[in-house]
Chains A and B, each alone.
Chain A
């Protein structure tokens, strides 16, 4: 595919690139906009903000989500906050500083121009959300309050209690529903995209299943936007909602969109540990707990005493020991990996020996219970609700869990994939976070893509589409895609084996977590590839899905999602195997410093891997986008 990796980064100095782009981007006149249709799949922060913004401009938007209401998208669950370079605290924050922190946080594996744009647009988001009525935290004077988050030295995080994601999402959901009211947005809740339709090489529509009726529907448009979030749920146990999946972007990948850095998944350090085999997910506790909580494990791996009975000198505060400067506030990848090391050494705590202690006893002594209640009270009660343990009396048990996909569909500066007319925004694309995402940047990227970037870049594309008529959903390409989708579902139903989709998912997830999770090795990855192939074979022969396709059938929905996980799982391992260096969330044990830190190899791996589908899941083709740093010099990421 010629010029497939044309990044379309505008010329000129970094700080001028986005302005330059906006000045030159093509426009569609208001009268013509109503002739154009756009499909937006997903109604999280990225999808809802994009659909609302495009409808405000006058385009006809079809908005899809698999939940029963767009307000339930998983953006709702984000807790901590959203970053913006406002410098309200006069502590030296600036667009450049935020850009630099983000780039460094991502271990210099993100695209400079996109990361800069993210920081540049960040302030607008706070303005936009405030105008929508998002109740951000305020000072007593009435001005916006903000706080500091991991990995940075300024206060740039805005928040709405511990439910920032919920409030931002409700803001964009309300903007979306306002456009439903004007008739510019048609809403399709409980609809799942099952395939992308290409006509003459361009994205022209989707095949979706109405989850309430089982009907398979065709929807045409002049462009398709995927805002379907991340796929960390592939590990089965994760912080993600049960319905999060890879299907929309994976099926687009199989139609020609490149998949970038698929193996980079952030593992979040402060989650509740698994308590048993039946467990369906892991709950995230806000990272802010690490501000006052001290993390430790017993020095002796045969320790049987209760936490409070273990004397001070028999505890290992390993983060404080290994990273004296950042201590318990070391970035997520580092904190997670260190916990796993302790657990793997047999020093884990709890019944399953799969957790580490997060201890507030010193903070309680130092500040008194009232202060701790004020700072973290809701988290302590959430912990009590789930575990029945009072963390004011004994340490919490925490454990790392899969959280955020840094990888996703490869997109150029315009957020367009390698398929013309197919755009990917928010967590579904790959470009802004590199190999690790800093806290409070995920909500930001989703919103910035949807509110401020896509409305310009999509319009630039649509300007050339005005001459094209409405997409004909009776085109043979729609027939083909619909037939393939139906055939796949019939296949699932006809297998009649004895293992449920969920059981397959659990096996796949634990294999991936073990061999392509916090740390990876050549040997482990090669074994994982082998076992994934075996599992995929078994899935074909031994799946059981009851009922039929023409009704509500959540088992059938799961089967489709797990089938896609079975394929991308192999690509994740191939990607991790191919990258013979360590960076951010990707830790290859063969490539570490003498002190056991990630060892990046800029000479050989300063690129994003963009994988191309070729025939089957085992023969992907690697394309490379070389990363060039015009403004910064990549440095060794040190938090000691």
Chain B
């Protein structure tokens, strides 16, 4: 296949970026999107040019490190799919594809398509855990958890932290990411003792990191590779208000 690429190139966070055009003549349908970029990069390097920097690691859809806007959609056209699991059979011969980084104030560009998502780590740091020290845990079966509760907690815990929710939100809100962790830990008995403190800390941190507010457009769930439910956000708001009133 012949593919025309329009890719965002930006030297570093201080420089101005621009779209540059490339054409690849020998793209195979079986290639993943990132392998297509690898092919482009080998060509660029051999010409002595700088390759397109992009984030990726496991290439199995689970590490959450990859992620770009493809024709304006986070992780591209396939539903519930990370960029590394998107294959070129989703495109046609002669297509023009726009590739840009996830854009949000809280995600500064490092170079080209690489961004800094440590703001998401800061949210977890503020309270996204159960405070238990190593070696102090009771026998696991002394904490029975109903099957459906464990499964529901898992649904929220499945978030891979890629930031697609932020990138697809018109307000760059991290509400889906934050609420998924809050919900997981709130559902389980181990995490409940800290719920009130946790939800306030995490929501406050989210604001400090320059994420926007959620205005219920629900674009985040649509583009989430793990199909994390927006109901998590409702729960987060409920828990937050409850904490504010009761504390």
Contacts and interface: CB of A to CB of B under 8 A. Distances in A.
Contacts of B221: none
B58 A241 contact: yes
A554 B41 CA distance: 11
Given A177-B124, A278-B39, A126 B140 contact: yes
B46 to A, nearest CB: 6
B42 A503 contact: yes
Interface in B48-62: 48-51, 53, 55-62
A83 interface: no
Interface residues of B, number: 80
Nearest to B187: A135
Q: Which of A131, A142, A170, A455 has the most CB of B within 10 A?
A: A131
Contact of B89 (A173, A281, A388, A547): A388
B140 A160 contact: no
Given A142-B147, A547-B50, A132 B140 contact: no
Interface stretch (A69-77, A302-310, A425-433): A69-77
Contacts of A9: none
B143 interface: yes
Nearest to A56: B133
A160 B154 contact: yes
Given A124-B135, A163-B62, A137 B42 contact: no
Contact of B111 (A69, A500, A502, A551): A551
Interface string A178-200: 10110000010100000000000
Contacts of A144: 140-141
Interface in A535-571: 544-547, 551-552, 554-555
B49 A385 contact: no
Nearest to A211: B110
Contacts of A143: 141, 144
Interface string B153-188: 110011011000000000000000000000011001
Given A133-B190, A385-B85, A142 B144 contact: yes
Contact of B134 (A128, A139, A141): A128
B117 interface: yes
Nearest to B159: A170
B87 A502 contact: no
Contact of B138 (A67, A131, A166): A131
A140 B146 contact: yes
A36 interface: no
A131 B132 contact: yes
Interface string B121-154: 1001111111111111111110111110111011
B134 A77 contact: no
Contacts of B127: 181
A503 B35 CA distance: 14
Interface stretch (B26-34, B69-77, B206-214, B232-240): B26-34
Interface in A40-59: 49, 52-53, 56
Contacts of A387: 30
A243 to B, nearest CB: 5
A19 to B, nearest CB: 14
A71 B130 contact: no
Contacts of A141: 144
A76 B144 contact: no
A212 B110 contact: yes
B184 A133 contact: yes
Contacts of B133: 56
A128 B143 CA distance: 12
Q: Give the size category of A's interface with B.
A: 35 or more
Nearest to A136: B150
Contacts of B137: 124, 127-128, 130-131
Interface string A253-283: 0000000000000000000000110111101
A212 B35 CA distance: 23
Contacts, number: 223
Contact of A76 (B35, B62, B89): B62
Nearest to A142: B144
B42 A502 contact: yes
A52 B125 CA distance: 13
B23 interface: no
A77 B58 contact: yes
B63 A127 contact: no
A173 B39 CA distance: 34
B157 A135 contact: yes
B65 interface: yes
Given A124-B135, A177-B121, A500-B45, A275 B143 contact: no
Contacts of B63: 67, 72, 74, 76-77, 241
Interface in A281-324: 281, 283-284
Nearest to B34: A280
B161 A135 contact: no
B59 A281 contact: yes
A180 B191 contact: no
Nearest to A388: B89
A280 B35 contact: yes
B148 to A, nearest CB: 8
A174 B28 contact: no
B20 to A, nearest CB: 15
Nearest to A139: B147
Contacts of A170: 157
A287 to B, nearest CB: 15
B63 to A, nearest CB: 4
Contacts of B120: 69
B229 interface: no
A88 interface: yes
Given A452-B135, A554-B53, A77 B62 contact: yes
A385 to B, nearest CB: 6
A353 interface: no
Interface string A133-170: 10111111111100000000000000011010011001
A130 B143 contact: yes
Contacts of B48: 544, 546
A71 B141 contact: no
Given A72-B57, A281-B59, 11 more contacts: A72-B161, A77-B58, A124-B137, A132-B132, A133-B191, A135-B151, A136-B140, A174-B130, A241-B58, A242-B58, A544-B45
Interface of B: 11-12, 28, 30-32, 34-35, 38-39, 42, 44-46, 48-51, 53, 55-65, 78, 81, 85, 87, 89, 110-111, 114, 116-118, 120-121, 124-141, 143-147, 149-151, 153-154, 157-158, 160-161, 184-185, 188, 190-191
Which 9 pairs, one residue from A and one from B, show the smallest C-beta to C-beta distance? A142-B144, A174-B129, A131-B137, A130-B140, A127-B137, A552-B111, A53-B134, A138-B150, A135-B153
24 contacts: A56-B134, A68-B55, A68-B65, A69-B117, A69-B161, A72-B57, A72-B63, A77-B58, A77-B60, A88-B141, A128-B135, A133-B191, A135-B184, A189-B118, A212-B116, A241-B59, A276-B30, A278-B31, A278-B35, A280-B34, A281-B60, A382-B61, A385-B87, A500-B45
